[in-house]
Amino acid sequence: MNFVLNQKMKNKFLLILSISLILSGCVGVSSKGIFGTGVSIAFDPRSVGTQIDDSIMQKSLSARILLADKNYFFSVKSKVLDGRIFLTGKVDDPEEKLKLTKLAWETQGVRSVRNDIRVKEKFDLKKSAKDVLITSQLRTSLILDKNIKATNYQIDTYNKKIYIYGISMTSTERDLVISKAKNITDVENVIASIMLVENLRIQKN
């Protein structure tokens, strides 16, 4: 009888202890099941509300990427942190990278997009050097122009084609960025995915 009572008291004590730990946040409860982030709430600097918003954005973006092409499930990864989207992986051509960038920008609540997706193609030292030079020239030109916020743009060049991703404060700034790209020597085409701030559905803090 004493053994049964002791066992019941032990079980009750463990139950109370577990509940206390959960409520106090001392055990680092995994948020994977709730938010899909796999980040411990206890150690995550984001507020619970921000984590929920990020999780909703993450699921929405992931679903739209898969709808675009099921193969992206293995080749493209996305992460949302505080409304900022990060893309990584590999695709077959620059047009795919541009398409994925647009999908990211169109996500409800997005604040910024960083696209680190690489394009699969055979390495050509001569072509690669020319592309790097073109990118460098445009980047320098944007930095030196006080009417352009250069940090808002990501530039990629493939086979003398410039791909520009980012946001402009005004349509005038956007046109100026595109004009600078077109005026660089040897550039064959400029493909721009530049959004205006006024058209972005920016998450409010």
Q: What is the CATH number of the domain that holds 59?
A: 3.30.1340.30
Say yes or no to pLDDT of 147 above 70.
yes
Total number of domains in the chain: 2
The pTM for the full model equals 0.54
Report yes or no on 153 lying in a domain. Answer: yes
Shared domain for 107 and 139, answered yes or no, is no
Domain final residue pick, 73, 94, 121 = 121
Structural domain of 97? 30-121
* C-beta separation of 85 from 113 below 8 A: yes
Report if residue 13 sits inside a domain.
Answer: no
Residue 101 has pLDDT above 70, yes or no: yes
Write out pLDDT tens, residues 41-63: 344 555 777 778 888 989 999 99
Does one domain contain both 99 and 46? yes
Q: Which of 106, 121, 136 is the last residue of a domain?
A: 121
Report d(CA 92, CA 56) in Å as an integer.
28
Residue 79 lies in a domain: yes
Per-residue pLDDT at 159 exceeds 90: no
The verdict on 136 and 159 lying in the same domain is yes
Residues 132 and 64 in one domain: no
- Verify that 115 and 136 share a domain, yes or no: no
Check whether residue 36 and residue 83 sit in a common domain. yes
What pLDDT, on a 0 to 100 scale, did the predictor assign at position 11? Answer: 59
Tell me the C-alpha distance between 166 and 105, whole Å: 9
pLDDT digits (tens, 9 = 90+) for 186-201: 999 998 878 787 775 5
Which residue among 66, 97, 121 closes a domain?
121
State mean pLDDT over 133-157.
91
- 85: its two tokens: 């989207």
Stated length of the chain: 205
E strand map for the chain: 76-81, 84-91, 112-119, 153-158, 161-168, 189-196
The whole-chain average pLDDT of the chain stands at: 76
Note whether residue 24 is domain-resident. Answer: no
